[in-house]
Amino acid sequence: MNYRDILNESYAEAVAWRRHLHMHPELSFHEENTADFVAAKLEEWGLEVRKGVGGGGVTGLLKGLNPGKTVALRADMDALPIQDEKESEYASTVPGVMHACGHDAHTSALLMVAKILSAHRSQFKGNVKFIFQHAEETTPGGAKFMIEDGVLHDVDYIYGVHLWTPLQAGHVYSVAGPMMAAADEFVIQLQGKGGHGGLPHETIDTVMIGSQVVVNLQTIVSRTLNPLYPAVVSVGSFQAGNTFNIIAEKCTLKGTVRTFDEESRQTAKSKVEDLTRQTSEMHGAQSNIRYILGYPPVVNDHLETERFFAVAHSLYGTEHVHPMPLLMAGEDFAYYLEQVPGCFMIVGAGNGETRTSYPHHHPKFDLEERAMLQSAELLLHMAVNALSE
């Protein structure tokens, strides 16, 4: 069945859903109103609904006319602690909180799929489980808790989509194997001895020591890890002192490590800890390191990625379907893929206009809303194709 005409008929409603959610964003682990909004829609369409899954997630189970396999489709619901700075009639009404990554559109696109399939359940056998996940943006992430709560029980395949404004709307992407990086964090605290800026010999200068730590950490990628495997070590925050003539007694560094394989991930962790300790000891300072293993890499199943290319080529032709370059961004969809075969897909959501040219997590972020149609169409056909086997 070709669902494109039905999707087009649902587009205006999906835009209204997306703009409502955009105006009323909720942070990770606090998506109560968003969850209520989603659950009410699913109940209206006759799905079996569970709320509070893993703490804050929502699921809707749709049973086809005949028994068969179960396909899960996932969207994330949470927003970010960012002040919305764009001029728009649907800008966030919540101070300091906005949907700056597209999760409002992910949720709305998946609601489109749920509504359409619920009206055409006689067209497929088996079940579709709609997973509306909380807390994708904040480690340890909602996926982990939903899995622990049994969200993947009896699920045979899982698919998800991320709208991506750096890529032109109308194009879709994925790749077999690793696609998005493991996203780990570290917090380094250095304790030295403060003192007068004119008497450095009487101090243990944590600004100088912290600076050396930053430089030394860059040797992890350049001189320790296998150059054939991509990796990034970045220090994003350096906090020390508060005036020009006092040598800082304390220094705090915060950063992230991105890798695609477990050996590089563990090696990087060990080297961050060793280099920090050795550098601080060399200068007489004390160090404390908190290293947080975040989301694992997103690794797509090879057969399910083949399904993506077959489905996408049939829908859009070869000129609009592409292998996805590796992304250093992290995604807790990785946890689902560790449990069941599946594929995470990227849908272009930029259109070259100023309003969609801002990167994800930017205060003026916005996206091409028609990309929701392609996202919904891709998820819908992936599910139906898998259930037809």
Catalytic site residue from 26, 31, 76, 78: 78
Active site residue 136: yes
Spatial separation of the C-alpha atoms in residues 188 and 276, rounded to whole Å: 8
Cα 111 to chain centroid distance, Å, stands at 19
CA separation (Å) from 164 to 104, 169, 317, 347?
Answer: 13, 9, 20, 6
Detail the DSSP E strand segments found in the chain.
Answer: 48-53, 57-63, 66-76, 125-133, 157-168, 172-174, 177-180, 182-191, 195-196, 231-240, 246-247, 250-259, 286-295, 298-300, 321-323, 342-350
Token code pair at residue 291: 């290293």
- How far is Cα 117 from Cα 65, in angstroms, rounded to an integer? 11
Q: Is 184 designated active site?
A: no
**Is 20 marked as a binding-site residue?**
no
Annotation-wise, does 153 bind a ligand? Answer: no
Does 103 appear as a known binding residue? yes
Q: Which of 136, 184, 301, 377 is catalytic?
A: 136
Task: Please name the residue that has the structure tokens 């906005």.
Answer: 98
The H or E element that residue 111 is part of is: helix 103-119
Is 343 annotated for ligand binding? no
Residue ranges of the annotated binding site for Mn(2+) are: 101, 103, 137, 162, 361
What are the catalytic residues?
78, 136
